[in-house]
């Protein structure tokens, strides 16, 4: 049987070169072109990690189809935000326009009436999935209602074409309405349906013709390095986590702007993306953030109740003139929305591995300046999680499976002591860090490189030959350090304090975040706090101690002071151990 649209490898190579496609995008274009060739109404899926450039593959496929004589192409999007972005991708002069194609299509969205496109024009229909499958919705009625210019409804016009190809952006989303979507597409009788997604539905695995998963994109340097940051304190309140996110964002902003100045490129300002559990909570969070990020328009709330003004502001958050510094959402932005200036993600709910990769990480994987900068604060996306640092360490197997399903890997301490890294082979995929270390990394200095000079390599940093363990720090030293402080905690707060302080100890740069050290961190935290309690209870306690009959809460200021005291003790022990062993550093 002769193919309807025989595969043309030379044309694929020509378009890939003209559009300067990355290797995985060129591979996806080739796979999609092969899948279209039979023209028998088949469905194929290309799995491409978020941030790699699905928009470029879509534009390249449209260019390929146009060169092969196809004149009717439908792109289905999961919602309004992606719909507007897609229209911009094909509109010359638009900030989101994807250049490189030889064809400028006539765009039909179903929202505005106009003259019928000429018969030989390349017509690009861009509909949301709701428009396509909901006959009862007002937008869908417009698609099916008779039109004077067209002589028929848009849906009928599409069904009457003989060369229709459907491109389904964020293909996995449509599985939620699989029967309705399949019926709507089947009634159109397209020559082929090509889906693009970062996370194919399990039911569609047999249809996947090209795979470039997140693990590959991270190791190839095409997206940001995810850093999961354990909460500052287990069970800490929402305000504390919002403050943590703001501090991380401010620190990253300094690094991002310094790198831009050093390399003579337009600056990019990092955003916080906050994921909430419910719409009411999102509204409360937006109000709280407005107090932490003062200024008009600094916080943007986007939910299913948001109007067009919010969506227009969302479409511009990556523009230099945008005042937005934080986007607060529930599930409206789970798929299809990603901008290069998301620097910090705050999850105000527990993260399952599936949620992490499908709905949250994908919103911040694009590189701020389009390429790896060689600076951790610029090349990373910090995800401040609901879980504690310890919980994240204990869930490494699930996280690894989410990033690279079926791959064997390992978890190892970072060479610089900054948490642990998940790896597949020798390739680092994801870091798990404590809050204090993430903040320190975000504040790292950026070296100014003279114009035209080669960028210096990132200097390696290795631990001294002598292995250091918290076991070298005796209980008595920790108790004595605590005895110099004052304070007693209300019932139940001591357990929280031990967990929090132990997590902060594990996040110190001299501490290897491995399971054997967790127990040592617990031991030191408990010893320090027992010294504090003993000092407060004794008649000779420090003057001016503010103990109350019911005790004090364990707050951020107290925790930071305790962590600083123990950090000094641990550093002193570390130096003593290395001096005794004769190791220089």
What DSSP element (H or E) covers 280? Answer: helix 279-292
Q: What distance in Å separates the CA atoms of residue 205 and residue 194, rounded to the nearest whole number?
A: 14
Q: Could you give the residue ranges of the DSSP H alpha helices within 138-278?
A: 138-144, 154-160, 178-188, 214-219, 238-263
Closest CA to 4 of 65, 76, 74: 65
Q: Return the pLDDT at 540.
A: 38
pLDDT band at residue 152 under the 50/70/90 scheme: low
Q: What distance in Å separates the CA atoms of residue 325 and residue 274, rounded to the nearest whole number?
A: 11
Per-residue three-class SS string for 56-77:
HHHHHHHHHHHHCCCCEEEEEE
Residues 380, 386, 389: CA angle, nearest 5 degrees: 70
Q: Return the pLDDT at 42.
A: 93
Q: What distance in Å separates the CA atoms of residue 279 and residue 57, rounded to the nearest whole number?
A: 34
Greatest mean pLDDT among 139-148, 446-455, 474-483, 513-522: 474-483
Q: What is the mean pLDDT of residues 201-221?
A: 86
Q: What distance in Å separates the CA atoms of residue 123 and residue 164, rounded to the nearest whole number?
A: 10
Q: Return the pLDDT at 444.
A: 73
Q: What distance in Å separates the CA atoms of residue 410 and residue 427, rounded to the nearest whole number?
A: 10
Match 């993430």 to its residue by tokens: 438
Closest CA to 195 of 397, 408, 369, 31: 31
Residue 174 has pLDDT above 60, yes or no: yes
Closest CA to 337 of 17, 85, 528, 4: 85
Q: What is the mean pLDDT of residues 473-481?
A: 87
The percentage of residues in the chain with a pLDDT greater than 90, rounded to a whole number, is 26
Residues 344, 302, 306: CA angle, nearest 5 degrees: 170
Residue 580 has pLDDT above 60, yes or no: no
pLDDT top residue among 576 and 367? 367
Q: What distance in Å separates the CA atoms of residue 108 and residue 124, rounded to the nearest whole number?
A: 6
Q: Which residues fall within 8 angstroms of residue 143, CB to CB, at 6 or more apart?
A: 110, 127, 131, 132, 153, 154, 155
Q: Return the pLDDT at 105.
A: 93
Q: Return the pLDDT at 360.
A: 66
Q: What distance in Å separates the CA atoms of residue 488 and residue 549, rounded to the nearest whole number?
A: 9
Q: What is the mean pLDDT of residues 368-380?
A: 89
8 Å CB contact between 386 and 351:
yes
Q: What distance in Å separates the CA atoms of residue 177 and residue 166, rounded to the nearest whole number?
A: 17
Packing angle of the helix pair 80-89, 54-67 (nearest 10 deg): 50
Q: Could you read off the pLDDT of 558-574 as tens digits, one per residue?
A: 787 888 888 888 877 87
Backbone angles phi and psi of 167, in degrees to 5: -115, 120
Rounded to an integer, what is the distance from CA 541 to the centroid of its chain? 49
Q: HSE-up of 539 (CA within 13 Å, CB side)?
A: 0
pLDDT band at residue 503 under the 50/70/90 scheme: confident
Q: Return the pLDDT at 465.
A: 34
Q: What is the mean pLDDT of residues 39-44?
A: 94
Q: What distance in Å separates the CA atoms of residue 75 and residue 83, rounded to the nearest whole number?
A: 9
List strand residue ranges (DSSP E) for 285-329, in order. Answer: 299-302, 326-329
pLDDT band at residue 333 under the 50/70/90 scheme: low
Q: What is the mean pLDDT of residues 171-178?
A: 64
Q: DSSP letters of 527-548?
A: HHHHHHHHHHHSTTPPTT----
Considering the entire predicted model, what is its pTM?
0.69
Closest CA to 288 of 344, 339, 346: 346
Q: Which residues fall within 8 angstroms of residue 243, CB to CB, at 6 or more apart?
A: 292, 556
The percentage of residues in the chain with a pLDDT greater than 70, rounded to a whole number, is 73
pLDDT band at residue 582 under the 50/70/90 scheme: very low
Q: Are strands 271-275 and 326-329 parallel, antiparallel or unpaired?
A: parallel
Packing angle of the helix pair 493-506, 556-581 (nearest 10 deg): 40
8 Å CB contact between 433 and 504:
no
Q: Could you read off the pLDDT of 359-371 as tens digits, one per residue?
A: 567 778 889 998 8
Residue 41 has pLDDT above 90, yes or no: yes
Residue 141 has pLDDT above 60, yes or no: no
Min mean pLDDT across 124-138, 448-462, 532-546, 556-570 is at: 448-462
Q: Return the pLDDT at 508.
A: 76
Q: What distance in Å separates the CA atoms of residue 292 and residue 286, rounded to the nearest whole number?
A: 10
Residue 131 has pLDDT above 70, yes or no: yes
Residue 37 has pLDDT above 90, yes or no: yes
């Amino acid at each position: 049987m002769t193919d309807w649209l025989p595969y043309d490898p030379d044309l694929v190579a020509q378009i890939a070169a003209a559009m300067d496609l990355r290797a995985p995008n060129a591979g996806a274009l080739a796979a999609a072109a092969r899948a279209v060739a039979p023209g028998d109404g088949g469905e194929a899926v290309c799995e491409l990690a978020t941030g790699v450039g699905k928009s470029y593959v879509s534009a390249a496929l449209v260019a390929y189809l146009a060169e092969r004589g196809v004149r009717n192409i439908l792109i289905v999007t999961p919602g309004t935000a992606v719909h507007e972005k897609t229209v911009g991708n094909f509109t010359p002069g638009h900030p989101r326009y994807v250049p490189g194609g030889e064809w400028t299509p006539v765009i039909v969205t179903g929202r505005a009436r106009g003259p019928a496109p000429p018969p030989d024009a390349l017509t690009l229909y861009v509909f949301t999935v709701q428009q396509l499958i909901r006959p009862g919705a007002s937008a869908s009625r417009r698609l099916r209602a008779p039109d004077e210019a067209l002589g028929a409804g848009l849906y009928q016009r599409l069904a009457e074409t003989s060369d229709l190809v459907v491109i389904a952006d964020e293909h996995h989303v449509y599985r939620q309405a699989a029967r309705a979507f399949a019926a709507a597409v089947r009634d159109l009788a397209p020559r082929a349906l090509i889906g693009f997604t970062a996370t194919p539905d399990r039911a569609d695995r047999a249809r996947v013709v090209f795979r470039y998963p997140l693990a590959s994109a991270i190791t190839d340097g095409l997206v940001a390095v995810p850093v999961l940051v354990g909460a500052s304190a287990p069970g800490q309140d929402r305000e504390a986590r919002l403050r943590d996110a703001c501090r991380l964002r401010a620190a990253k902003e300094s690094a991002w702007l310094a790198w831009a100045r050093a390399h003579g490129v337009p600056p990019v300002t990092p955003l916080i993306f906050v994921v909430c559990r419910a719409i009411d909570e999102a509204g409360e969070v937006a109000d709280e953030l407005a107090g932490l990020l003062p200024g008009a328009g600094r916080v943007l709330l986007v939910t299913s109740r948001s109007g067009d003004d919010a969506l227009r502001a969302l479409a511009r958050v990556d523009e230099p003139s945008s005042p937005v510094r934080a986007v607060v959402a529930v599930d409206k932005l789970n798929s299809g929305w990603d901008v290069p200036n998301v620097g910090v993600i705050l999850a105000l709910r527990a993260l399952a591995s599936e949620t992490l990769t499908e709905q949250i990480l994908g919103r911040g994987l694009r590189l701020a300046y389009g390429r790896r900068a060689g600076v951790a604060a610029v090349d990373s996306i910090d995800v401040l999680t609901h879980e504690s640092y310890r919980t994240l360490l204990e869930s490494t197997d699930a996280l690894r499976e989410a990033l690279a399903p079926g791959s064997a890997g390992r978890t190892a301490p970072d060479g610089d002591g900054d948490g642990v890294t998940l790896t597949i082979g020798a390739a680092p995929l994801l870091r798990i860090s404590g809050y204090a270390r993430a903040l320190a990394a975000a504040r790292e200095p950026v070296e100014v490189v003279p114009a035209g000079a080669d960028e210096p390599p990132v200097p390696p940093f290795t631990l001294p030959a002598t292995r250091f363990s918290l076991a070298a720090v005796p209980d008595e030293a920790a108790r004595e350090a605590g005895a110099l402080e004052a304070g007693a905690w209300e019932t139940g707060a001591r357990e929280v304090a031990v967990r929090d302080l132990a997590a902060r100890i594990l996040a110190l740069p001299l501490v290897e975040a491995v399971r054997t050290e967790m127990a040592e961190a617990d031991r030191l935290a408990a010893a320090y706090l027992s010294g504090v309690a003993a000092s407060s209870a004794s008649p000779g306690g420090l003057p001016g101690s503010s103990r109350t009959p019911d005790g004090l809460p364990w707050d951020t200021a107290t925790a930071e002071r305790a962590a600083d005291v123990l950090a000094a003790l641990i550093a002193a022990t570390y130096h003593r151990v290395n001096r005794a062993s004769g190791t220089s550093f």
